[in-house]
DNA sequence: TTGTAGGCGTTATCAT
DNA sequence: ATGATAACGCCTACAA
């Protein structure tokens, strides 16, 4: 101990890792750390991992198909003990082909071409909850806004939306599906036409937080505070907007924590068949989702939407 | 090449790193990845590093003093080629004592006890810009909201605030310095009393985005859209609030990129004396900062604050 | 208890 | 050109 300080000895973790053939490092491949949802997930992963003596190497894959395999392979070549992946590529079978034996947990979307533990939220149920909430408040012309189509989560959410309409006996109108957009600006652009239909929408269900921001921006530009709205995913200022935005929220921290625990179990040698964990969503009632269909273009006065503490259903 | 695929050979980066005595990995120690500002910085770091063939190990130190040395030491024991650190501890001299030779770049705040390349933004100038903007719009009772006191950035921003008042011949009123808060909720709690002073405030300058969210929430609860506000740091829904929030913005992507470039130069063997890079801020004019002092409690009607495209000064 | 040899996978060096 | 060898720092195992 004396010598340690005197000579300034520091253990070389690289050498240890080579000798031991294992490394207390988890590889994390996530689409974008800038998205507040994934930022929370990654934060939870990093924190939980550190609590177990692991550190996390984080890389961003973007949404482009090409990057995932390169990035994940790079992490695996670093001899990480396990990987947490948000799948973006069309196919994750390279993991089984080239890196069999290294435990992988998928998050947010299920893997294609392989079997592994997966942490998902109940996208379909959450979207049903949110859409149904609008239905319960008298809406029958409800737009589904935000895409793109091919993403797993959006697909599931569209299913929940459709089921809510179906169960309410409302015919699905393809004109109300604005699922081509991905950037807030594109979402913004699509809202005016939905409001200008011969039978205009009275409510909007947005399929993720980017879509919510776009829709909010569009409504704001139009000066419309009378359009009901429920968004999938919470975001920081949701409670301070006019009206405050009712959202279906997932718990990103929970997701990250579960992913790490599952992964550590596998690393410890658990050999059960891979499972899927489906985490619940909550409806956070704030105001925008409780607006009734407006007659014409009446505007809800600002003071009528009083602030109340968030009410979680 | 044939054998590589046939045998499924993958290079072992750990062994390579041991043999070469270096590792194409950068260690990143940041306070919180959840903060949208740092999320962007980290994202820029990761992207830039990857573009140069480096990967990034990211760890969060929180704001607590204790964690920094443990976390940074852990990364350095991993033989990272260099470190990017957001200093949180009282003192970074352990870096020189125990890890001399490994290049370090500090970001957002300057190090204490050592000399190293540092990337800062012009906090004082930005706060001056924002406060002066309020002064130019006729305000003389301007609160400075958000803390805590001991943080470097907040200190500099308070200096800019003070200078703007001083140059305008406005006496600094300690009652208007609400720099004790750190969480949005605490900020929220302090706003009503500032508005209830015998000489109430007519404008708010918030010292970071958390403070902005708190102030916005408080104003929203009070139904006050007549209080002018400029915030330090941009945030996603700033343009969609009522009124849209004028902010002093820094460029987190730029910060991250510069930090990596400086670090890579050091890693490549640059031996000049450490320097400080001071990045500029922009005033993003949106509406809330251009409100004139209200007479009594008149409320600005919502439709009077029209949306306009962001105007950057 | 204390000491020493061997090998993890790679690369650099030296010999063929 | 191709091949053998040593060494990076650590941990384990076995010997003294």
Q: Determine the average pLDDT of the residues in B190-199.
A: 94
Q: What is the CATH number of the domain that holds B166?
A: 3.40.50.2300
What tens digit of pLDDT does each residue of A254-279 get? 999 999 999 999 998 888 899 999 99
Hits for CB < 7 Å against strand C across B residues 13-32: 15-16, 18-20
pLDDT at A299 over 80: no
What pLDDT, on the 0 to 100 scale, is given for residue B15?
A: 92
**Shared-domain flag, residues A181 and A308:** yes
Span of A123-137, A299-313, B145-159, B210-224 with lowest mean pLDDT: A299-313
What tens digit of pLDDT does each residue of A160-210 get? 999 999 999 999 999 999 876 667 777 888 899 999 999 999 999 999 888
Shortest distance between the Cα of B123 and any Cα of chain A, in A, equals 23
Residue B55, both tokens: 């990967």
Q: Which of B40, B78, B98 shows the shortest C-beta gap to A8?
A: B98
User: Does a structural domain hold residue B87?
Assistant: yes
User: Does a structural domain hold residue A224?
Assistant: yes
What tens digit of pLDDT does each residue of A103-141 get? 999 999 999 999 999 999 999 999 999 999 999 999 999
What pLDDT, on the 0 to 100 scale, is given for residue A307?
A: 36
Burial level of B94, CB count in 10 A (0-12/13-18/19+)?
Answer: middle
HSE-up (13 A, CA, CB side) for residue A191: 28
**Shared-domain flag, residues B110 and B128:** no
For residue B137, the tally of other CB atoms under 10 A from its CB is 17
pTM (2 decimals)? 0.86
What pLDDT, on the 0 to 100 scale, is given for residue A309?
A: 46
Cα gap A101→A96, rounded to integer Å = 8
**Shared-domain flag, residues A9 and A84:** yes
Cα gap B187→B206, rounded to integer Å = 9
Cα gap B40→B257, rounded to integer Å = 10
Q: If you ran DSSP here, which 8-state letter would residue B90 be given? A: S
Distance B244 CA to D3 C1' (A): 72
**Shared-domain flag, residues A127 and A173:** yes
Distance B55 CA to C1 C1' (A): 44
User: Does a structural domain hold residue B201?
Assistant: yes
Residue A227, both tokens: 């359009």
What tens digit of pLDDT does each residue of A70-97 get? 899 989 998 999 999 999 988 999 999 8
pLDDT at B297 over 50: no
Cα gap A236→B34, rounded to integer Å = 11
Domain count, chain A: 2
Distance A19 CA to C6 C1' (A): 12
What pLDDT, on the 0 to 100 scale, is given for residue A313?
A: 52
Q: Quick one: angle between helices B13-20 and A13-20, nearest 10?
A: 140
Q: Which domain holds residue A101?
A: 2-115
pLDDT at B103 over 90: yes
HSE-up (13 A, CA, CB side) for residue B284: 21
Q: Which of B32, B34, B213 shows the shortest C-beta gap to A240?
A: B213
Residue B45, both tokens: 């770091």
**Shared-domain flag, residues B286 and B155:** yes
Domain ends where: B115, B142, B170?
B115
Given a contact cutoff of 8 angstroms between Cβ atoms, the answer to whether B44 and B256 are in contact is: yes
User: Does a structural domain hold residue B83?
Assistant: yes
**Shared-domain flag, residues B110 and B195:** no
What share of residues in chain B are helix, strand, coil (percent, to 5)?
A: 40, 15, 40
What pLDDT, on the 0 to 100 scale, is given for residue A295?
A: 56
Given a contact cutoff of 8 angstroms between Cβ atoms, the answer to whether B290 and B244 are in contact is: no
For residue A98, the chain B residues in CB contact (below 8 A) are 8, 10
For residue B186, the tally of other CB atoms under 10 A from its CB is 17
String of DSSP letters for B188-251: HHHHHHHHTSSS--SEEEESSHHHHHHHHHHHHHHT---SEEEEES--GGGGGSSSPPEEEE--
Q: Where are the beta strands (DSSP E) in B76-184?
A: 82-85, 104-107, 117-121, 142-145, 177-178
HSE-up (13 A, CA, CB side) for residue B164: 28
**Shared-domain flag, residues B91 and B187:** no
Nucleotide nearest B16, from its CA to each C1': C10
Phi, psi of A288 (to 5 degrees): -65, -25
Chain centroid to CA B121: how far?
Answer: 8
User: Does a structural domain hold residue A158?
Assistant: yes
């Amino acid at each position: 101990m004396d010598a340690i300080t005197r000579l300034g000895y520091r253990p070389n973790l690289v050498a240890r890792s080579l000798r031991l053939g294992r490394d207390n490092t988890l590889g994390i491949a996530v689409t974008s750390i800038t998205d507040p949802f994934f930022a929370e997930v990654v934060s939870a992963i990093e924190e939980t991992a550190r609590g177990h003596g692991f550190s996390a190497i984080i890389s961003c894959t973007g949404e482009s198909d090409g990057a995932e395999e390169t990035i994940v392979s790079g992490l695996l070549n670093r001899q990480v003990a396990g990987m947490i992946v948000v799948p973006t590529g069309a196919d994750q079978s390279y993991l089984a082909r080239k890196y069999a034996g290294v435990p992988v947990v998928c998050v947010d979307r299920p893997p294609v071409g392989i079997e592994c533990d997966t942490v998902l939220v109940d996208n379909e149920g959450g979207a049903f909850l949110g859409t149904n909430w609008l239905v319960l408040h008298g809406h029958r012309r409800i737009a589904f806004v935000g895409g793109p189509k091919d993403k797993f989560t959006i697909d599931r959410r569209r299913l929940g939306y459709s089921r809510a309409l179906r169960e309410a006996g409302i015919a699905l109108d393809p004109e109300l599906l604005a699922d081509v957009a991905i950037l807030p600006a594109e979402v913004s652009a699509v809202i005016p036409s939905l409001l200008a239909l011969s039978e205009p929408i009275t409510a909007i269900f947005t399929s993720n937080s980017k879509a919510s921001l776009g829709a909010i921006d569009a409504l704001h530009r139009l000066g419309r505070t009378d359009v009901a709205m429920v968004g999938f995913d919470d975001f920081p200022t949701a409670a301070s907007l006019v009206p405050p935005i009712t959202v279906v929220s997932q718990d990103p921290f929970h997701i990250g924590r579960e992913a790490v625990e599952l992964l550590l179990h596998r690393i410890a040698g658990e050999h059960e068949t891979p499972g899927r964990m489906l985490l619940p969503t909550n409806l956070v009632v704030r105001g925008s989702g409780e607006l009734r269909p407006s007659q014409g273009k009446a505007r809800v006065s600002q003071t009528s939407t009083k602030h109340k503490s968030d009410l979680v259903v």
